[in-house]
Amino acid sequence: MSQIEPTPEAVTQTRTYTNPVYEGYFADPFVWEYQGVYYAIGTGAAEAQGQVDEIAEASGVDSTNKLRVFPLLRSLDFLNWHFVGNALTRPDPALGDNFWAPEVAYCDGKFYLYYSVGHEDKNHQLRVAKSDTPNGPYEDVGEPLVDPKSCSFAIDPHPFRDDDGQWYLFYARDFLDTEGGVRAGTALFVDQLESMTKLKGVGKVVLRARSDWQRFLANRLMYGEIFDWHTLEGPCVRKHGGQYYCFYSGGRWETENYGVDYGVANSVMGPYSDAGNETGPRVLRSVPGRVLGPGHNSIVLGPDGQTEYIVYHAWGIKMAARQMCLDKLMWTPDGPCCNGPTWTPQTITKTIRISTS
């Protein structure tokens, strides 16, 4: 007698959510999916404010320095997020107390956590740690990715894997020249990864600030001089329709002028252009009285396996904390756009397969 095999049948479930999707302080959110589980890692309040040492003292951490940093969340449905612990075993305390903007890449059975560490707004260096599991603990490999002697401020590392398997690292660093109409300040850079823990050293500029909305602070004292300082940071790269889109956040993160825009290129190493954003960010911007300073995004497929979501942090109207939010990312003939930032209930779909005989 032949046996009838069960036939999978697709069923779509619709749910609702309201931003923020996690109540705690959670800046610079990076979300990824692994084996059907969603993970999120970000900058916590202590990491952002340089209070890691204070937490170490309060918790009685001894000289072996086993304190962990960077909050890690987990979700089975993309909507309900739960804290599961801190991910990174803190490296040498001499490196600093400010830990910013972690991102994770999976390659050849290992998880690699890229991050920056430093002292407030100076001496920030890029580093990488690795783990056998997405939960960690992640252990620093012991060397900076970029020589701090040649680049004293490097932040916001974003690993990107191209279709051919080659990995690249996008990040932000400081530039002081103003030739060709660019503004002095923090801007975007890319280099090829020779291995997951070493850059090849063939880096190129991705984008420089050119617009007033990207201003961080006028008359800012930096490197012993006064600058009209501009900021592009938080790169996140997505390939779509054969082109490379580098999403980034511009402006000052503590203000409502902060928002998300993008540059586009035909090659992963550029040249990139963000022409068309002269009046402000085109993907996410503040909604006065509702959502302020949305930015530093990552992009991930939702539970239906088709819809892309942009995950970002934003301030509430009281500016009490940066919290994790998510909204649908859409692609139009004019480029990517978003239906957010939202603060009212939104629908989300999930496709599940059940067996029928």
Mean pLDDT of 301-326: 96
- Identify the band that residue 172 occupies on the pLDDT scale cut at 50, 70 and 90: very high
Across 152-162, average pLDDT: 97
pLDDT at 194 over 90: yes
What is the per-residue DSSP string for 47-100?
Answer: HHHT-HHHHHHHTT--TT---EEEEEEEESSSS--EEEEEEEEP--GGG-SEEE
Q: Is the predicted pLDDT of residue 283 greater than 60, yes or no? A: yes
- Report the distance separating Cα 190 and Cα 267, nearest Å: 12
- pLDDT bucket at 53, cuts 50 / 70 / 90: confident
Domain boundaries, the chain: 20-349
Asked whether residue 155 carries a pLDDT value surpassing 60, the answer given is yes
Q: What contacts 24+ positions apart, CB below 8 Å, involve 264-269?
A: 264/335, 266/242, 268/160, 268/162, 268/168, 268/190, 268/237, 268/239, 268/244, 269/168, 269/190, 269/192, 269/204
Could you tell me the pLDDT band of residue 57, with boundaries at 50, 70 and 90?
Answer: low
Does the pLDDT value for residue 310 go beyond 90? yes
Q: What is the mean pLDDT of residues 63-84?
A: 88
Instruction: Please identify, in words, the CATH class of the domain defined by 20-349.
Output: mainly beta
Question: CB-hemisphere CA count at 13 Å for 78?
Answer: 28
pTM value is 0.93
Q: What residues contact residue 347 under an 8 Å CB cut-off, 6+ apart? A: 14, 15, 16
The predicted model gives 302-317 an average pLDDT of 96
Provide the pLDDT for residue 63: 40
Q: For 4-49, how does the pLDDT look when each residue is reduced to its tens digit (9 = 90+)?
A: 455 566 677 899 999 999 999 999 999 999 999 999 999 999 998 8
* pLDDT of the residue at 12: 79
**Residue 1 clears pLDDT 50, i.e. is over it:** no
User: Residue range 231-258: average pLDDT?
Assistant: 97
Q: What is the rounded average pLDDT of the residues 191-215?
A: 97
